[in-house]
Amino acid sequence: MRAKWLVLAAALLVAVMAASAGTAVAAQYQWKIGHIRPTGTEIDRDVNWLVEKIKEESGGRIVIDIFPASQLGDYTVVQERVSMGAIEMQLACLGTTVSKALNLPAAPYLATNYEQAEKLFSPGGVVYEIVGEILAAKENIHLISGWPVYFGGIGLLKQAPSPGDPNVPKNIKIRVPPIKSFELTAEALGYIATPIPWAETFTAMQTGIVDGVIGGGAEGYYANFRDLLKEYHAVNDHFEMWFWYMNKDLWNKLSKEDQDLLTKLGRELEAKRWKEAPDAERANEQRLASVGINILHFSQEELDAMVEKAKEIVWPGIRGDIGEEYFDRVMKVLQ
């Protein structure tokens, strides 16, 4: 009988130890990640893929809860909270409230095709490296990887005269983000720039304050403005790049193995997205067309004229805001 109880006690001890070990592994890291699009969108699917891979390859030690559709707050607010350590990570566009130099990725016509964009915006590229330096030095944030989104365009409620000629005044007011580069770009392309936050853009177009929008692309315009827009002009004014980052203090506390794991999976996610992004952009343009929005593409000659106008007017105008050192590093690579 005594032997029987000893066996039962030993079995119970093993079970308790196994359960305790399992609990410890599962609870080692429990983080939050935010992004700005609804559930089921391209970015949401990719963030879910990333989180599942991290959980799987960490043996369940790293568990990350996803908060889509800005549930944790506007991306600029979440960026600040990541900086303070109140939220662990985010995958989104960059807020420039703290560091104006982070306007650099949105500068117009740094790249005009995906091959050029990948060289500039992926790890090892000059724009990516500068963004990482700024986030680390000024915002206590560690950059892990990027997520290429699309080339931007202009959405309009009416036809524009000579839309392919930036030297023809369009006499159309369009919403621009409250960022100097977009304001100057709109003016360089012949439009009247009106700074309006993204959240107020639908109402501004609906009430006639503006008759168009710049600062996004086909994907964002379909999600938000497809009931209003009449035309979409694929002017490729900027390359939209989002970034996956986390609190730097938390990053520094991780083991090298965990840092390497996050970096590896972030790079895998980015590489996958570089392959998918061009097709996704075309698909979103087709979605706009499917609801009756006229899609305008431009000849290489017309696009070249837009690029030259941006170089002449916009680049000198934003060099000081971004910082001459950073801006000139990019120009050196482009030249």
pLDDT of residue 59: 96
Residue found by looking up tokens 């004229």 in the block? 305
- Report the share of the chain in percent with pLDDT over 70: 92
What strands, in cross-sheet order, belong to the sheet with 173-176? 192-195, 173-176, 212-216, 153-156, 231-233, 294-296
Q: Determine the average pLDDT of the residues in 65-73.
A: 95
Cβ–Cβ < 8 Å for 94, 88? no
**Spatial separation of the C-alpha atoms in residues 221 and 202, rounded to whole Å:** 10
**Spatial separation of the C-alpha atoms in residues 227 and 156, rounded to whole Å:** 12
Cβ–Cβ < 8 Å for 22, 53? no
pLDDT of residue 14: 44
Q: Give the pLDDT band (50/70/90) at residue 129.
A: very high
Residue 247, strand partner residues: 141
pLDDT of residue 16: 43
The pLDDT tens digits for 267-291 are 999 999 999 999 999 999 999 999 9
Q: What is the pTM of this model?
A: 0.89
- Report the share of the chain in percent with pLDDT over 90: 86
The pLDDT tens digits for 18-34 are 444 444 455 599 999 99
pLDDT of residue 25: 55
Q: Determine the average pLDDT of the residues in 235-260.
A: 98
* Ranges assigned E (strand) in 192-238: 192-195, 212-216, 231-233
Burial of 39 (0-12, 13-18, 19+ CB in 10 A): exposed
**Spatial separation of the C-alpha atoms in residues 142 and 214, rounded to whole Å:** 29
Which residues, 6+ apart, have CB-to-CB distance to 55 below 8 Å? 62, 63, 64
Q: Which two tokens stand for residue 94?
A: 């960059």
| Sign (positive or negative) of CA dihedral 244, 79, 280, 330 | negative
Residue 31 parent element (H or E): strand 29-34
Output phi, psi for 50, to 5 deg.
-60, -45
**Spatial separation of the C-alpha atoms in residues 132 and 126, rounded to whole Å:** 10
pLDDT of residue 74: 86
Residue found by looking up tokens 């995906």 in the block? 114
- Name the residue type at position 85: G
Q: Determine the average pLDDT of the residues in 121-131.
A: 98
Q: Determine the average pLDDT of the residues in 321-327.
A: 95
**Spatial separation of the C-alpha atoms in residues 288 and 231, rounded to whole Å:** 9
Q: Determine the average pLDDT of the residues in 256-260.
A: 98
The pLDDT tens digits for 163-190 are 999 999 999 999 999 889 999 999 999 9
Strands 29-34 and 62-67: parallel
Q: Determine the average pLDDT of the residues in 222-241.
A: 97
Q: Which two tokens stand for residue 57?
A: 């390859």
First and final C-alpha spacing in the chain: 86
**In 3-state terms, what secondary structure has residue 161?**
coil
**In 3-state terms, what secondary structure has residue 108?**
coil
pLDDT of residue 26: 56
Q: Determine the average pLDDT of the residues in 210-214.
A: 98
